[in-house]
Amino acid sequence: MITLQSDIDLQALKADYDREGYVVVRGMYSPEEVEELKAEFERIHDELPEKAHDDGIRNPDDPLYKYPRIVHPHRYSNIARKHMIHPRVREVLHALFGEEPVATQTMYYFKPPGARGQALHQDNLYLLVQPGTCMAAWTAIDRVDRENGGMMVVPKTHTGNLLCQEKADENLRKESFSHAITRVPKGHKPIDVPMEPGDTLFFGGSTIHGSGPNRSKDRFRRSFIGHYAAGSLEKISKFYLPLVRMDGTDCEVEAAAGGGACGNDWIGGLH
């Protein structure tokens, strides 16, 4: 389930992913690349506040108001675009999809101390990739663990259907910025995925995942995320168009009805 970037056995990686619905590749990004990403998004935060994604947070004392997430930075940042189509990421995705991937989205989370997490959810509820599903490549920029709101996944949920979400109650809203939650099916449970800077977690579009709040006093939990689909897809939510081939060129497919920014509430029924 966990391998080293310096010696990737792609066949074993694919077998682990097919069994569990996620896999971690250690050291996918070098320390220098991690620092480049960190510096670029500090610049975007400081110099381009209009690029912040609007999650409806209006309280100026909320840590997520001060450090909102960034969505689709590859559309204006050459550095984000470069790392979205990273050759090593492409190599792993090709093995997991079994065909050439295309990039659909980038995001960056700062998640400062005190920030809420994101309730459990499934990504393809937002991307609506058809046929097939999407896949995330979630890269840690800081050391991540339960204290600072590291990632949780629910193993073996990748082969299931997209599930109805439930409205978050008041207690959950204190720990999650999103308004809905996907309940864990009977017989499954979420597990923590601790990671070091540069490690990348790959998981499927139906894999249930999320994170708790950052309860640390002084540790950010920054992350750079790319979402991808198999290149043979025919539709995706309009929010993600144009797609980007792994050679850096744009491409278009038919827009699927519904969907939206990954992690936002989604209204429209079951797919």
Question: What is the chain written as a DSSP string?
Answer: -EEEGGG--HHHHHHHHHHHSEEEEETSS-HHHHHHHHHHHHHHHHH-GGGB---S---TTSHHHHS--EE-GGGT-HHHHHHHT-HHHHHHHHHHHSS-EEEEEEEEE---TT--BEEEE-THHHH--BSS-EEEEEEESS-B-TTTT-EEE-TT-TTSPPPPPEE--HHHHTTBSSSEEPPPPTT---EE--B-TT-EEEEETTS-EEE-----SS----EEEEEEEETT--EEEGGGPSEEETTS-EE--EEESS--STTS---S---
pLDDT interval class at 267 (50, 70, 90) = very low
The chain-wide mean pLDDT, for the chain, equals 92
End-to-end CA distance of the chain: 30
Q: What is the pLDDT of residues 19-28, one digit of tens each?
A: 999 999 999 9
Q: Domains in the chain and their CATH numbers?
A: 2-256 (2.60.120.620)
Q: What is the pTM of this model?
A: 0.93
176 contacts 79 by C-beta, under 8 angstroms: no
**Mean pLDDT score, 142-160:** 97
Tokens linked to 271? 């797919």
pLDDT interval class at 259 (50, 70, 90) = confident
Q: Answer with the residue of higher pLDDT: 7 or 58.
A: 58
**Mean pLDDT score, 251-269:** 67
Residue 119 CA: distances (Å) to CA of 54, 122, 151: 18, 10, 11
Q: What is the pLDDT of residues 238-249, one digit of tens each?
A: 999 999 999 999
Q: Which amino acid does the sequence have at 24?
A: V
Q: What is the pLDDT of residues 179-194, one digit of tens each?
A: 899 999 999 999 999 9
Residue 173 CA: distances (Å) to CA of 67, 118, 212, 222: 18, 9, 11, 21
Q: In this model, does residue 266 exceed pLDDT 60?
A: no
Q: 88 φ, ψ to 5°?
A: -70, -35
Residue 213 CA, chain-centre distance (Å), reads 16
In the chain, % of residues over pLDDT 70: 93
**Mean pLDDT score, 45-58:** 96
For residue 185, count CB atoms less than 10 angstroms from its CB and return exposed for 0-12, middle for 13-18, buried for 19 or more: middle
Q: What is the pLDDT of residues 85-111, one digit of tens each?
A: 999 999 999 999 999 999 999 999 999
Q: What pLDDT does residue 126 have? A: 94
pLDDT interval class at 174 (50, 70, 90) = confident
Q: What is the pLDDT of residues 189-230, one digit of tens each?
A: 999 999 999 999 999 999 999 999 999 999 999 999 999 999
Q: What pLDDT does residue 1 have? A: 41
Q: What angle do CA 169, 72, 117 make, to 5 degrees?
A: 25
Q: In this model, does residue 171 exceed pLDDT 90?
A: no
pLDDT interval class at 268 (50, 70, 90) = very low
Q: In this model, does residue 112 exceed pLDDT 90?
A: yes
